[in-house]
Chains A and B, each alone.
Chain A
Amino acid sequence: MADNKNVWVFIEQDEGTIADVSLELLAKARELAGILKSEVWALLCGQGVEDAARNAVAHGADRVLLAEHPELKLYRTLPYARIVSAQVREKEPYILLFGASPVGRDLAPRVASAVRSGLTADCTDLQIGDFDSKKDGKVFKDLLLQIRPAFGGNLIATIVNPHHRPQMATVREGVMRIQEPDPKRKGEIERVNCAFESSDFALEVLSREIRHSTVRLKESPVIVAGGAGAATEEDFELIRELAHVLGGEVGASRAAVDSGLIGKEHQVGQTGTTVRPRLYIAAGISGAIQHRAGMAESNKIIAINTDPDAPIFQIADYKIVGDLNEVIPLLINALREKAK
């Protein structure tokens, strides 16, 4: 086992643009490397992505391992896993992080299996801490504490990987914060060798259709969200109108998405998007744990619910017990009056 404590981030890119989750991870990796007194290394695969490498440095990488090859232009499991596994075996990082995106969730387990290390999925927090192992009768210093919801979001589990390196985790999108890039930051860009085997090309991508979502939940300063209590088209019309008056975005609980009244891209919660807007208005949302986990860190929360005991009220700054059909029009009127 190597004695470096470097923190690696797999950088996901699409046509040279780095995915937000990778930038979030670079910021988190800086924090972890600060505690470990080690370096942040970015692992970037693609073709013609040198600008992205420089961008990774600006966002916190001390070194970028840059694998450029025509076969790496579009993401495919096997060629990417080949490069990442080879680099991990050769340089033995202490920690290796991936975004819990479709790419990260496809690639990370493949790599973990190849290098025979532990992998924790969908972490919502990462810390450095000691692990007192009864089984081994010793304390493992400075391990990566991999924190994730478990059992349908009812529990928070902390997972460690004491004996194997690297300590690997995928991290949910949107839960860590991106740091402002510093274009003056210095970092090395190291080009790495790309050697494949013919079996790496068993799969070819015939076509790819990307829908660019117009819903921008994560960035919106205000979110008005509807839940099971918003049971009709008219209810969601009111929610949309309030969001419009506030210059915000429409959110939804899983129950509302399941009812078909609103699209999945609006879903807030553990299986949707994690948000922390300036203002979150929860209308007719009871506040199941899986929803609260995705919005509890909002700056101010207004909850509207007919049930005075709804769990959503436990985390609300403002509690309005009432029917959203009555309360929302009052909110809209009050806002319109103030705007005059």
Chain B
Amino acid sequence: MPYKSVVLVKQVPDTKNITGEAMTPEGTINRTALPAVFNPEDLNALEMALEVRDRHGGEVTVITMGPPGAAEVLRESLFRGADKVVLLSDRRFAGADTLATSYALSCAIQKLGSVDLVFCGRQAIDGDTAQVGPQTAEKLGMPQITYAEAIEKLEGGSIVARRALDHGTEMVKCSLPCLLTVVSSANEPRPASVRRRIEYKFAATSLEYKSLLAKWPSFKTEEALDAFLVRRELKIPVWTAADIGAEEQKLGMPGSPTQVYKVNFVVLEGSESKVVDPTSDGIKALIQELMQEYIVG
């Protein structure tokens, strides 16, 4: 039986290469100063959803919330096999913490109508909170399977999944619909297919038309470009707060209980270090000293 799946993905700054410019004095993140990447575990979530579709039929819709540039991860999702993609973008979403984010995402999922499975990555590398999945599940009134590593069985209205925990595994059976957060050990995400890369190369949201016209001057007007994308089914829909029927006070900064009080760079200073010669005598003297201080022996 076919299953209707939604995958929640996030474009994240590559936290492996952070510089001082990445932080504003207010303690918020200047994302433009960092290269943006597809959150790694969201690729595992997408792969799990695609495997369900390839095996049982159905369709996979990928949703992301972010600025216009976040359309990049949606194109990447199309290249890898997603059937539909949606960008949630609105100034009113800005500054959202995990609670406000999960509220917006849950509204978007509800707009899609009935859904059997919701997949997200276990956590995103910019915040490492692992909160948005469970919070979204709660808002949707769905059970959740966190740390999902494999789907053992999917039959009728229920799923059997394996969870990878710190010190072992757990096999659970759950009724549908349900939400899964997927760990990196779940699978090896498929690469973008060459055929799909060509097919969806021009997929774009209306928020990108201005920059696209500069790249493809032959379209002359936004209307012409829009007509072309619609005809080729390449127009990526953008949903605003109004489109998803969200209550404004639950979105963005006003809808976020947590606030950043301050941000400090990590400074870990030890006491002055003693230099020990890497020679037999140097090391013997070190061990002698450690024994006298009862550190060893």
B-binding residues in A (CB < 8 A): 77-78, 81, 101-102, 105-106, 108-110, 112-114, 116-122, 131, 133, 135, 145-146, 149-164, 199, 202-213, 222, 246, 278-279, 289, 292-293, 296, 299-304, 313-323, 326-327, 330-331, 333-335, 337-339
Contacts and interface: CB of A to CB of B under 8 A. Distances in A.
Interface in B194-249: none
B21 interface: no
Given A205-B171, A296-B270, 18 more contacts: A109-B98, A109-B131, A113-B102, A113-B134, A121-B131, A122-B129, A131-B261, A149-B266, A157-B27, A157-B263, A202-B175, A206-B172, A208-B168, A301-B270, A314-B269, A318-B275, A331-B283, A331-B287
Given A289-B266, A331-B283, A160 B261 contact: yes
A313 B264 contact: no
B79 interface: no
Interface in B97-145: 97-99, 102, 125-139, 141, 143-145
A207 B286 contact: no
B280 A164 contact: no
Interface string B1-26: 00000000000010110100011000
A334 B276 CA distance: 14
Contacts of A338: 287-288, 291, 297
Given A159-B258, A320-B278, A112 B99 contact: yes
Contact of B178 (A101, A151, A202): A202
22 contacts: A106-B147, A110-B144, A116-B257, A117-B257, A154-B18, A156-B266, A202-B143, A202-B175, A203-B172, A207-B171, A213-B167, A278-B295, A279-B290, A293-B268, A318-B275, A318-B276, A319-B275, A330-B283, A331-B283, A334-B283, A334-B284, A334-B287
A320 B139 contact: no
Contacts of B282: 320
Contacts of B32: none
Contacts of A105: 130-131, 146
B174 A202 contact: yes
A155 B133 CA distance: 24
A323 B279 CA distance: 11
Interface of B: 13, 15-16, 18, 22-23, 27, 29, 97-99, 102, 125-139, 141, 143-147, 160, 165-175, 178, 256-266, 268-271, 273-280, 282-284, 286-288, 290-291, 293, 295-297
The 8 closest A-B pairs by CB, nearest first: A118-B257, A322-B278, A152-B15, A315-B270, A121-B129, A118-B258, A113-B138, A109-B134
- Secondary structure dominating the interface of A: mixed
Contact of A296 (B13, B173, B268, B295): B268
Nearest to A154: B18
A135 B15 CA distance: 29
Interface centre among A81, A164, A334 (most CB of B within 10 A): A334
Contacts of B170: 205, 207-209
A155 B166 contact: no
B258 A321 contact: no
Contacts of B271: 317
A81 B102 CA distance: 17
Contacts of A211: 167-168
A206 B15 contact: no
A104 to B, nearest CB: 10
Given A204-B173, A315-B269, A109 B130 contact: yes
Contact of A161 (B132, B133, B171, B257): B257
Given A102-B146, A113-B135, A163-B257, A209 B169 contact: yes
Contact of B266 (A155, A160, A335): A155
Most buried by B among A81, A131, A135, A209: A209
B266 A153 contact: yes
B260 A121 contact: no
B266 A118 contact: no
Given A110-B144, A113-B99, A119-B258, A154 B265 contact: yes
Given A106-B146, A112-B131, A327-B283, A145 B264 contact: no
A338 B287 CA distance: 8
Contacts of B178: 202-203
Given A105-B146, A113-B139, A152-B16, A212 B167 contact: yes
Given A151-B29, A206-B173, A118 B270 contact: no
A110 B261 contact: no
A301 B135 CA distance: 41
A95 to B, nearest CB: 13
A331 B131 CA distance: 46
A149 to B, nearest CB: 7
Nearest to A317: B273
A155 B265 contact: yes
A287 B207 CA distance: 43
A102 B147 contact: yes
A210 B284 CA distance: 44
Contacts of B274: 317-319
A156 B259 contact: no
B186 to A, nearest CB: 15
Nearest to A205: B172
A316 B168 contact: no
Nearest to A319: B273
Contacts of B173: 203-204, 206
A206 B160 contact: yes
Given A320-B276, A322-B278, A330-B283, A106 B167 contact: no
A314 to B, nearest CB: 6
Contact of B270 (A159, A202, A314): A314
Contacts of A339: 297
A338 B288 CA distance: 8
